[in-house]
Amino acid sequence: MDIAGGTFVITGGASLIGSHVADRLLADGSGKVVLLDNFALGTPEAIAHLDGDSRVELVRGDILRTGELFDAFAGADGVFAIAGFLTLPLTQNPPLGLAVNVDGMVNVFEACRFAEVKKVVFSSSIAAIGEPGPEPITEETHSNLAAFQAGTKLYAASKLIGEGLCQLYSSKYGVGGVALRYATVYGERQHYRGVNALYIIQNYDRIMRGESPQITGDGSEVHDYVHVADVARANVLAMAADAAGEIFNIGSGVATNLVRLVEILRDITGSDLEPEYVEAGGAVKSTSGSTIDFRIGKAKRLLGWEPEVGIEDGMRRLIEWRREQG
């Protein structure tokens, strides 16, 4: 699909990822970008920089209201299905979170079928795999959610359902669905709802208050941190690619533990505050393992995508943005 001149709708358009996907589409010459959001989790500030761009249309809408999707999707070439509850808000409000993540995605695909939208790029998650072990995590790795906390298990299951909808609607209805399994997404316009990325911004805030950064447990917990600009580029490449019914891992391919994360933060801020080690307590967590081997080769082969922003550079960009917020 040609991105230049095309019309695209982003559900959850006023979100961290949604706003960056809009930036990428506009940079690639899209003719029209519709940002659909009910602002329950998205914020006007995330898309304030797009004010005045004649190619951008902001629509207040909800993926639980199918009629609003029919109107928004009319004439669209593709839809980026980003709207959804993350682990933390879903744990806090399971009825609404599951309705949005499951019924909302059904509504998105049904509206796309009705409006003859050619393609949907769905925002999935590495959580769909479950607690990572020492073995490589590929798109074919079997899901094992048994070790997850209850809320995380529900979130992961909802993402598996979304992936199934991508495959079903691709094969049965001709609405090409592609699922992108994100690792831990962070970057400019960072919110306070991503369980793992939250660790970065909370520790930065602690350092700015003159408080010691905190390391959970012994600090060996690892995650794959992928910058939101790389995620946005993966979305647009997936929309443009001749791929349907596929799942792609989108991450950095690099494991970073909590000790290293705090080291980077201290280097960027010039802080000499010694970190303190604390117990996790009852905090909501998605994964807590000391190994992760997230393979991203399929995205490189079929989409021509690979990450460009390393963790040090990405965190500097995040902190620079956070400082600008005051």
- pLDDT the model gives residue 281: 61
Q: Identify the sign of the CA torsion 90, 103, 161, 114.
A: negative
- pLDDT the model gives residue 111: 98
User: Would you say the pTM of this structure is higher than 0.85?
Assistant: yes
Q: What's the CA gap between 290 and 257, in Å, rounded?
A: 8
- pLDDT the model gives residue 195: 65
Q: Identify the sign of the CA torsion 90, 93, 94, 100.
A: negative
What is the helix (H) or strand (E) element at residue 294, kind and residue range?
A: none
310, two tokens: 């390393």
Alpha-carbon distances of 291 from 137, 150, 182, 211, 287, rounded to whole Å: 11, 22, 17, 29, 10
> How confident is the prediction along the chain (326 residues), in pLDDT tens digits per residue?
999 999 999 999 999 999 999 999 999 999 999 999 999 889 999 999 999 999 999 999 999 999 999 999 999 999 999 999 999 899 999 999 999 999 999 999 999 999 999 999 999 999 999 988 889 999 999 999 998 999 999 999 999 999 999 999 999 999 999 999 999 999 999 887 666 778 898 999 999 999 999 999 999 999 999 999 999 999 999 999 999 999 999 999 999 999 999 999 999 999 999 999 998 765 555 556 788 999 999 999 999 999 999 999 999 999 999 999 87
* Closest residue by Cα to residue 5 from 75, 59, 109, 81: 75
* Closest residue by Cα to residue 123 from 193, 68, 178: 178
- pLDDT the model gives residue 180: 98
- pLDDT the model gives residue 194: 63
- pLDDT the model gives residue 253: 95
Please name the residue ranges forming H helices in the chain.
Answer: 16-27, 66-73, 87-92, 94-98, 104-115, 150-172, 198-208, 228-240, 258-269, 297-303, 311-324
Q: What's the CA gap between 90 and 160, in Å, rounded?
A: 15
- pLDDT the model gives residue 132: 86
CATH domain 7-187+225-252+292-309 topology: Rossmann fold (3.40.50)
Q: What's the CA gap between 111 and 11, in Å, rounded?
A: 12
What is the helix (H) or strand (E) element at residue 122, kind and residue range?
A: strand 119-125
